[in-house]
Structure 1
């Protein structure tokens, strides 16, 4: 931790933080409907957001503070391998263009609030639905924690708090205040708060990146000088391993790991509960289609952002400091390069960039608990008002859990559990995405495949221990049928699908009960004008006399 406080930067940071706090509380009255106590209102913003609001919400949701800190930090620490985040965010949009509009349509027709709601309705299985919900909550918790880690990194560089301080008041109070504000306006305003704040967050991020990508190279002697200094730094060998620190270009031995990590991450991104929550808040199917075509603009920004890792090396950030925390590299670069007032703007962009996704993630996890654990298993007759109240309380509990994670555990543990979360969430793909296109899979086979993928992925991640990380040391291991290192999540996913296919064939032969499908084909392609109010019986849905029975019943 620094001993001096950057007063100007801190003042600018506090100004923007207070501004978004006011916006967060004002959002409670923005587009507020009469049925404000319905979970659709608090947890999905009334399903009323148009193209631009959804675009900012999804951007604020997917491109988090940890993204702005960790992606360039990965470049800073290991070189080109950290660029995997750029191609995966490009690959993911054509994939989600195929299934997100279908998920929106069927959820709108049946009033589904979570992807687990859809799984329960599609396969008639509460067990499978609960498994999907628990996986989502488990994968989301460390993700929220890492948003708080991003805020803590910024505060540390400004000289406020920091892990090196022995004074509890100095060390943790700023983070506790930020947490308290986040919890208060999320509880009050629900999804509307991060939707409004996302406009401020994205505007700040784009301004900071536009200035940084021009101004910092100018001060460092141009990109040629930056790449030369980065190449020289990466060539220095680690005395413990005897290997170079990294490389400007990914080497042949790392290409399978790079490619599979990018592909697996692309498949997993929109399976996270917070991604689904932002999608279901859209007011129409076309809103989702349009967003999948314009969201790649964020990938362009991410590519420019990743370049900051090379710039931090060229500036000498952390040079000569043993055990330097790479997560501080980019905030420190901003303080070194920018005037104090603009450094404050950059720090505010990162800090606010933590609040938006943390709010959405806590809401999404709370919705999963309320709809798929509390209502399905504890109180099936819960009223909409009771659901909303439970979800609000659950969102606070989730945030408290994330805060405890940050305050009591080693930050590398949080980071590795987030990597593990990606492995876990990928195992929900056969049930969620597969279910959107076919009812062929048997519910018990999907549950068995999910369990096998979870067990295998967790076991393999646990095996990647290192001298500095006792457990869950990484997300890559040897791919059995290729003999090269690759993403564990993708290997576990292949095992998951293989078991689901084989067991489905067996269970269909023995005529095991397959459950009741409450959806019909038309539900998946319905345009907005064909859909009525959420949760009410619509033409083609079960419960409407004289219409066809649901497929798979």
Structure 2
């Protein structure tokens, strides 16, 4: 029932997302030519105001990492995760100067992307194409990351009803559906819906989780300071190496990168004027306050769901809410997280399409006047490649884990067989003498005692086997009343030993004897002996036929 409700909520919002993205182009003129069409599609006709630029650029920065990675870093390390807030705020400050400069240059020369500006500034079209190829190589993993993040979120909030592969395809289909048609303007409209949901859901969680699990912020912060103080200072929990030097250098380098990132430049070029970018640079740091919520909830998960390791720690936020909130609320939170993947993914795909349509494929004479169509085709191709990369990564990860488990199980089974052959039938762990938990051995009195050391255990096994061999030799040396050798117990095959029959006169005259264990086995004929093995038959002599003299193994075989 919960899965059906959450999945229905998610499906309704995805339909609304596609419809909103498609309606963004309603009533917009296409432009006089192909160049005008590309400018309208790639940079929104340079007509976006302060609100649209603010939600668009905030959407680029607030990705699925905010719901998954920020909470996971808060869970694993603590204070070092604040580098995200530091570098983004510093980058916005630099954008106050860089953004208007790039916007003015691009508007003056009719440019629509960072590769377009590189080619125009240096007068080398091939240089713009080279930058486009290199940027594409490094942007495709970002798209793959957003597809993977949305897949994990959707599979979690649907209570496993939607598989990862289907979630990956939904992310690709929804994003491609409105980006190809509406371009940057469609991404801006979807960003409005995304930011409304993000602000509402994170504001609710910031109040709900501390009250529900800790009876308020006071007890929560008191426990955090008392029990998890290592998470509140650098370098955080564990030997992560994320100290103050790392924090300063990482924040500085990332702030320089984010200000000229291809997707950030696309947001600059979509503004109506330079003042919009300056106001945007002043207001964007306020959006970063929301980043503190998943970081704090990640540390709250330390007390609620302890023991998360590896990739599971990225789901710390959702593990707090999936079991404690109604299904419809879980669905809404999942939609907010999914849109946090869709919006940046849409801008990434749009930028790749614009770079190739304007700087690479335009070098082909037949495609020079079809730049918009070529760019839209590249958008679809980039989405398909990222989708394949995400599915391949998932298959490798899910394939390696069962393979590793199978190897461990085979090794354990082989070890059990060796132990069973050397010690006899293994005892159940609950039986006296059986192997208990954590290397402890159950003694006859029922008390758990430390296991015998391996070297001493091997010595005991060796002496046990020697005693068995001595007993077997003693048993083979016994004779019955008729002077025949006898052995007690079953045959080697495990079957009951057959009754002894009196030897015939012919057999007595030939001095032949049955095998020592009374089963079909080695028989002595006229001084030679045939070995009895599972792969060979016994060498028998038919009455009335003479065995070959002086020839080992030369008798007739039946």
Alignment TM class, shorter chain as reference: 0.5 to 0.7
Q: 1:323 to 1:287 in 2, by over 3 A?
A: closer
For 2:396 and 2:287, the matched residues in 1 are separated by 27
Report Cα offsets for 1:334-380 as digits up to 9, x if no partner: 3234332222111110111211111111000111112222224x338
| Residue 186 (1) aligns with residue 179 (2) | yes
Q: Report 1:260-339 matches (<5 A).
A: 260-316=249-305, 319-320=306-307, 323=310, 325-339=312-326
Q: 1:400 to 1:100 in 2, by over 3 A?
A: same
Q: Is the 8 A contact 2:10 2:331 kept in 1?
A: yes
Q: Is the 8 A contact 1:220 1:314 kept in 2?
A: no
For 1:36 and 1:9, the matched residues in 2 are separated by 45
Moved more, 34-43 or 190-199: 34-43
Moved more, 120-129 or 101-110: 120-129
Secondary structure of the residue aligned to 1:247 is: helix
Aligned to 2:338: 351
- The equivalent position to 2:377 in structure 1, one of 382, 393, 399, is 393
Q: Is the 8 A contact 1:227 1:310 kept in 2?
A: no
Aligned to 2:217: 223
Secondary structure of the residue aligned to 1:133 is: helix
Q: Report 1:363-382 matches (<5 A).
A: 363-376=350-363, 378-379=364-365, 382=368
Q: 1:36 to 1:205 in 2, by over 3 A?
A: farther
Q: Is the 8 A contact 1:160 1:170 kept in 2?
A: no
Aligned to 2:444: none
Q: Report 1:129-528 matches (<5 A).
A: 129-159=128-158, 170-221=163-214, 222-227=216-221, 247-251=231-235, 254-316=243-305, 319-320=306-307, 323=310, 325-376=312-363, 378-379=364-365, 382-383=368-369, 386-409=370-393
Aligned to 2:71: 72
User: Normalization by structure 2: what TM-score?
Assistant: 0.65
Q: Is the 8 A contact 1:104 1:279 kept in 2?
A: yes
Secondary structure of the residue aligned to 1:9 is: helix
For 1:19 and 1:80, the matched residues in 2 are separated by 38
Give the 4+ runs in structure 1 shifted more than 6 A.
none
For 1:77 and 1:66, the matched residues in 2 are separated by 14
Any stretches of 5+ residues in structure 2 without a counterpart?
398-558
How many pairs were matched up?
A: 389
Any stretches of 5+ residues in structure 1 without a counterpart?
163-168, 236-245, 414-553
Aligned to 1:48: 47
How far is the alpha carbon of 1:408 from its aligned partner?
A: 0.6
For 1:94 and 1:366, the matched residues in 2 are separated by 29
Q: Considering only CA atoms, is the larger Rg found in Structure 1 or Structure 2?
A: 2
Secondary structure of the residue aligned to 2:233 is: coil
Q: Is the 8 A contact 1:54 1:278 kept in 2?
A: yes
Secondary structure of the residue aligned to 1:29 is: coil
For 1:357 and 1:411, the matched residues in 2 are separated by 25
Secondary structure of the residue aligned to 1:392 is: helix
For 2:160 and 2:345, the matched residues in 1 are separated by 20
Q: 1:281 to 1:394 in 2, by over 3 A?
A: same
User: Normalization by structure 1: what TM-score?
Assistant: 0.66
Q: Is the 8 A contact 1:116 1:133 kept in 2?
A: yes
Moved more, 257-266 or 134-143: 134-143
Report Cα offsets for 1:50-82 as digits up to 9, x if no partner: 111111111112211233321122111221111
For 1:368 and 1:346, the matched residues in 2 are separated by 34
Secondary structure of the residue aligned to 1:338 is: coil
Secondary structure of the residue aligned to 2:24 is: helix
Aligned to 2:84: 85
Aligned to 2:11: 14
Aligned to 2:484: none
Secondary structure of the residue aligned to 1:283 is: coil
For 2:223 and 2:383, the matched residues in 1 are separated by 41
Aligned to 2:59: 60
